[in-house]
Amino acid sequence: MTTNFSLEEKFQATGGKKPYVQRLFGRIARIYDIMNFLMSFGLDRHWRSRAARYLALGTGETGLDLGAGTADLSIAVVRRSGPGTHMIGMDITPEMLEQGRQKLRRIGLQSQIELRVGDAEHIDLPDNSVDGCCSAFTVRNLANIRQGFSEMLRVVRPGGRVVCLEISHPPGKIFGTLFYFYFYKLAPLFGSIIGKAFEEYNYLPNSLTAFPKAPELKRIMEEAGWSGVRYYYLSGGVVAIHIGTKQ
């Protein structure tokens, strides 16, 4: 079925952005990893590995991965952080977590990474209970980004970090134009041809349209209470990594 509804109208029809996003990822959970790999030309692994490096968890520390999905960022963090590091991966979409659990069993990391259903905007953890918090390609999907960063601040211990990896708006004019053409025109096409999921992969560029540019996201993090916030563009600004510290 072709749909000419705006994204806002689709959110309303499903009861809000959260249930819309949850159902959408539930439908593509099985093809999520391979589509990510193909559509990013394999760069997604490199981006997560950089994010994991910035989180810099120490041996024996516990990190939180919000919107953990199929667990790739949690895996990257554990692999970078040495023995005894523990990750809690939270996500609102059980189907994504199930794919993640199968992967963890295959690679033998199920004892170090615990996946549970949970909402990044209302984190079911006590104050100051984790050593660091990270997310990859999740914040764009939140109904209230600032609320998400406030919740992250609440659960991270003083001195701990937040690391947010997200698709961004490339600052260069020529590269930006090329990227937008790929992201808005070709990516949904690939999604519908390879993944047979046009609606889902059409959401991808639409979710970026309303998403703040990197300097604005930095400001939102600061307003939420994060200190020393800085960001790095990767791959010409296709993605950005924002980092902050809890004082």
Q: Of the two residues 92 and 241, which places its CB atom closer to ligand SAM in the complex? A: 92
Which residue carries 């959970």 as its tokens? 29
Spatial contact of 225 and 156, defined as CB atoms under 8 Å apart: no
Q: Tell me which residue of 39, 43, 55, 70 sits closest to 245, measured CA to CA.
A: 55
Q: According to CB under 6 A, which residues from 13 to 32 bind ligand SAM? A: 18, 21-22, 25
- 3-state SS, 50-61, equals HHHHHHCCCCCC
N-term to C-term CA, the chain: 50
Binding residues for ligand SAM, how many (CB under 6 A)? Answer: 25
| Alpha carbon distance 113, 75 (integer Å) | 8
Site for ligand SAM in 138-167 (CB under 6 A): 138, 141-142
**Does 202 participate in binding ligand SAM (rule CB under 6 A)?**
no
The C-alpha atoms of residue 179 and residue 173 are separated, in whole angstroms, by: 10
Spatial distance between the Cα atoms of 75 and 66, rounded to a whole number of angstroms: 13
Least CB distance from residue 174 to ligand SAM, whole Å?
A: 27
Smallest distance, Å, CB 181 to ligand SAM? 21
Asked whether 130 and 64 are in contact (CB, 8 A), the reply is: yes
Q: Indicate whether 66 belongs to the interface with ligand SAM (CB under 6 A).
A: yes
Q: Which is nearer to ligand SAM, 124 or 228 (CB)?
A: 124
Q: Which is nearer to ligand SAM, 45 or 213 (CB)?
A: 45
User: Which residue minimizes CB distance to ligand SAM?
Assistant: 69
Report the residue from 57, 73, 229, 240 that binds ligand SAM according to the rule CB under 6 A.
73
- Residues of this chain that bind ligand SAM (CB under 6 A): 18, 21-22, 25, 36, 48, 66-69, 72-73, 90-93, 96, 119-121, 136-138, 141-142
